[in-house]
């Protein structure tokens, strides 16, 4: 990993992490001196990238005046996501000229799936102009509602006039760390969700021909996951909006829809080896040399992806959901019940006419987290189920109704 170029020029590390000196040292070395592609944090699963920057950044650095560049590098915190980004980046080490991404991406399905079809090629072109052209300057850190559930009083979540875009209510922020736990980080959205749903539709059109390919099925599951994740963020806002209008039926209805979605979502992820919790836990246990270590390593592995250990019974750690993952098993057994607790207290609060019991919610979800971290149940290490069938089913169930079309249009207006 050597000096060269710097793809994502805005460096963003969150203030609260400054106390973590080790991180800082590593980041200083990798990002400021060696200048590599820093594409991913914590191995979060989110389709994201800037293909044009990868296709030209290394060449610009190489050909700049007095360049001392001798190589390219990658310094992601986690790999095994966004294969297209790592494919293109790895190629750049051998290139002397900028890559024409349009031509490159037209050939991508043949290289990746063994054959291509016009529909899947069109789908990849849409993704190139949307998901893989993140030019809003924000570095991606996945805070989707399912995997990074807001730990706030629902009245702190503001719903703007042009609905379903939202931001954190201005709460006064003192220097105390405690106050940052009150905040709700808005999930990142930098593209038109309806265009991406269209790309998914095109993907599905080529499914009968391509679903024999495991890489196709991986991409299909990933894209369906991406579309559903953003849809879930919107559903969550419907729950909050109903709460804020004292509409207990609305809260009940929308929150049930959210929970059903999380369950269905888990079944989709279960279809492919690339989206399973099992391999993570089993590989940790595999390193152990005695029974004590098996327990310890499994606890470590479960803690790393949920909440780090500096919490109390009533106060969550600031590093909750830092290493969040869209993995089958984790959605069903952790994210789903956690959302259920929040919704339960929303309904209770409306029924009893009291404010949201933030302390009770915290006590319960922190306990859920601790219990899950120390449990020992075993999860599958092999994908099972027909990815194409489940993706089609989910597409029809969630992403086609007129309801979502209008939600999407509202979201697009805000994004652009
Ligand atoms: C390149 O090196 C020359 C000679 O040392 C120097 O005069 C010039 O300012 C350098 N250019 C840049 C862009 O650093
Ligand atoms: C990416 O977005 C920028 C800024 O909106 C735009 O100028 C550029 O043409 C886009 N590139 C692609 C490949 O869509
Ligand atoms: C999915 O599979 C089920 C059987 O498991 C079948 O009944 C259904 O028709 C299939 N759906 C699609 C969209 O292929």
Model pLDDT for residues 52-102, shown as the tens digit of each residue: 999 999 999 889 898 888 888 888 899 999 999 999 999 998 999 999 999
Q: What are phi and psi of 175, to 5 degrees?
A: -75, -10
> What's the confidence (pLDDT) of residue 407?
62
Say if residues 310 and 319 touch (Cβ distance below 8 Å).
yes
Share of the chain above pLDDT 90, in %: 71
Instruction: Compute the C-alpha angle 101/103/108, nearest 5°.
Output: 85
Residue 12 within a domain: no
| Closest ligand by atom to 53 CA | 2
Q: What is the pTM of this model?
A: 0.86
Secondary structure, 3-state, 20-80 = CHHHHHHHHHHHHHHCCECCCCCCCCCCCCEHHHHHHHHHHHHHCCCCCCCCCCECCCCCC
> What's the confidence (pLDDT) of residue 160?
62
Average pLDDT over residues 193-219: 98
Band of residue 177 on the pLDDT scale cut at 50, 70, 90: very low
Please report the atom of ligand 3 found closest to the CA of residue 396. Answer: 13
Distance in Å, CA 390 to ligand 3 centroid: 8
Residue ending a domain, among 129, 144, 172, is 129
One domain for residues 116 and 219: no
Question: Which one has a higher pLDDT value, 348 or 137?
Answer: 348
Band of residue 183 on the pLDDT scale cut at 50, 70, 90: low
| Closest ligand by atom to 133 CA | 2
The answer, yes or no, to whether any atom of ligand 3 lies below 6 A from the CB of 396, is no
The answer, yes or no, to whether any atom of ligand 2 lies below 6 A from the CB of 135, is yes
Lowest mean pLDDT of 123-132, 154-163, 342-351, name the range. 154-163
Distance in Å, CA 24 to ligand 3 centroid: 50
Q: What is the CATH number of the domain that holds 314?
A: 1.20.120.670
Residue 3 predicted with pLDDT over 90: no
Band of residue 22 on the pLDDT scale cut at 50, 70, 90: very low
> What's the confidence (pLDDT) of residue 225?
98
Residue 278 predicted with pLDDT over 60: yes
One domain for residues 122 and 163: no
The answer, yes or no, to whether any atom of ligand 1 lies below 6 A from the CB of 9, is no
> What's the confidence (pLDDT) of residue 403?
61
Question: What token pair was written down for 406?
Answer: 């209008």
> What's the confidence (pLDDT) of residue 310?
85
The answer, yes or no, to whether any atom of ligand 1 lies below 6 A from the CB of 66, is yes
The answer, yes or no, to whether any atom of ligand 2 lies below 6 A from the CB of 416, is no
Choosing from 393, 396, 398 the residue with most ligand 3 atoms within 8 A of its CB, the one to mutate for a pocket test is 393
> What's the confidence (pLDDT) of residue 178?
34
The answer, yes or no, to whether any atom of ligand 2 lies below 6 A from the CB of 253, is no
Instruction: Say how far apart CA 1 and CA 34 lie, in whole Å.
Output: 7
One domain for residues 173 and 295: yes
Average pLDDT over residues 112-122: 97
Distance in Å, CA 389 to ligand 3 centroid: 6
| Closest ligand by atom to 211 CA | 3
Range of the domain at 307: 154-410
Residue 399 within a domain: yes
| Closest ligand by atom to 394 CA | 3
DSSP letter (8 states) at residue 255: H
> What's the confidence (pLDDT) of residue 141?
87
Residue 368 within a domain: yes
Residue 5 within a domain: no
One domain for residues 44 and 114: yes
Average pLDDT over residues 286-298: 98
The answer, yes or no, to whether any atom of ligand 2 lies below 6 A from the CB of 129, is yes
Residue 266 within a domain: yes
> What's the confidence (pLDDT) of residue 146?
98
Residue ending a domain, among 73, 94, 129, is 129
Residue 300 within a domain: yes
Residue 55 within a domain: yes
One domain for residues 85 and 167: no
CA 208 to chain centre: 28
Please report the atom of ligand 1 found closest to the CA of residue 65. Answer: 13
Residue 271 within a domain: yes
Distance in Å, CA 134 to ligand 2 centroid: 8
Q: What is the mean pLDDT of the chain?
A: 86
Band of residue 406 on the pLDDT scale cut at 50, 70, 90: low
One domain for residues 109 and 201: no
Choosing from 384, 389, 391 the residue with most ligand 3 atoms within 8 A of its CB, the one to mutate for a pocket test is 389
Give the count of domains, the chain: 2
One domain for residues 98 and 207: no
One domain for residues 234 and 109: no
> What's the confidence (pLDDT) of residue 117?
97
Instruction: Say how far apart CA 362 and CA 342 lie, in whole Å.
Output: 9
Which of 237, 261, 242 lies closest to 332 in space, CA to CA? 261
| Closest ligand by atom to 390 CA | 3
Question: What token pair was written down for 296?
Answer: 């310890």
Please report the atom of ligand 1 found closest to the CA of residue 64. Answer: 13
Choosing from 3, 60, 65 the residue with most ligand 1 atoms within 8 A of its CB, the one to mutate for a pocket test is 65
One domain for residues 308 and 343: yes
Residue ending a domain, among 96, 129, 162, is 129
One domain for residues 210 and 329: yes
One domain for residues 217 and 318: yes
One domain for residues 194 and 83: no
Residue 27 predicted with pLDDT over 80: no
> What's the confidence (pLDDT) of residue 195?
97
């Amino acid at each position: 990993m050597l000096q060269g170029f710097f793809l994502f020029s805005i460096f963003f590390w969150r203030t609260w992490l400054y106390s973590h000196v080790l991180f800082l040292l590593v980041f200083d070395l990798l990002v400021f001196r060696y200048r590599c592609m820093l594409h991913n944090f914590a191995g979060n699963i989110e389709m994201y990238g800037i293909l044009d920057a990868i296709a030209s950044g290394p060449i610009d650095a190489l050909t700049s005046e007095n360049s001392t560049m001798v190589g390219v590098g990658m310094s992601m915190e986690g790999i095994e996501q966004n294969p297209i980004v790592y494919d293109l980046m790895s190629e750049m080490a051998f290139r002397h000229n900028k890559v024409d991404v349009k031509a490159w991406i037209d050939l991508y399905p043949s290289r990746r799936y063994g054959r291509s079809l016009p529909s899947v090629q069109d789908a990849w072109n849409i993704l190139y102009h949307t998901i893989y052209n993140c030019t809003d300057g924000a570095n991606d850190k996945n805070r989707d509602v399912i995997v990074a559930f807001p730990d706030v009083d629902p009245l702190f979540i503001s719903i703007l006039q042009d609905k379903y875009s939202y931001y954190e209510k201005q709460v006064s922020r003192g220097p105390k760390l405690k106050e940052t736990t009150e905040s709700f980080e808005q999930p990142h959205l930098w593209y038109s969700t309806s265009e991406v749903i269209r790309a998914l539709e095109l993907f599905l059109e080529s499914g009968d021909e391509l679903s024999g390919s495991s890489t196709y099925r991986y991409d299909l599951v990933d894209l369906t996951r991406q579309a559903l994740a953003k849809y879930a963020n919107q559903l969550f806002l419907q729950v909050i909006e109903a709460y804020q209008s004292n509409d207990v039926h609305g809260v009940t209805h929308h929150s049930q829809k959210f929970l059903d979605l999380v369950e269905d979502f888990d079944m989709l992820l279960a279809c492919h080896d690339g989206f399973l919790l099992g391999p993570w836990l089993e590989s940790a246990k595999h390193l152990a040399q005695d029974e004590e270590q098996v327990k310890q390593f499994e606890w470590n592995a479960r803690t790393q992806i949920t909440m780090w250990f500096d919490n109390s019974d009533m106060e969550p750690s600031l590093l909750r959901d830092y290493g969040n993952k869209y993995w089958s098993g984790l959605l069903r057994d952790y994210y789903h019940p956690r959302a259920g607790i929040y919704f339960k207290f929303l309904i209770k609060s409306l029924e009893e006419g009291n404010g949201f019991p933030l302390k009770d919610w915290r006590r319960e979800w922190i306990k859920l987290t601790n219990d899950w971290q120390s449990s020992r149940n075993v999860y599958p290490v092999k994908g099972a189920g027909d990815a194409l069938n489940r993706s089609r089913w989910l597409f029809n169930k969630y992403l086609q109704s007129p309801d979502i079309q209008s939600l999407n249009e509202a979201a697009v207006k805000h994004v652009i």
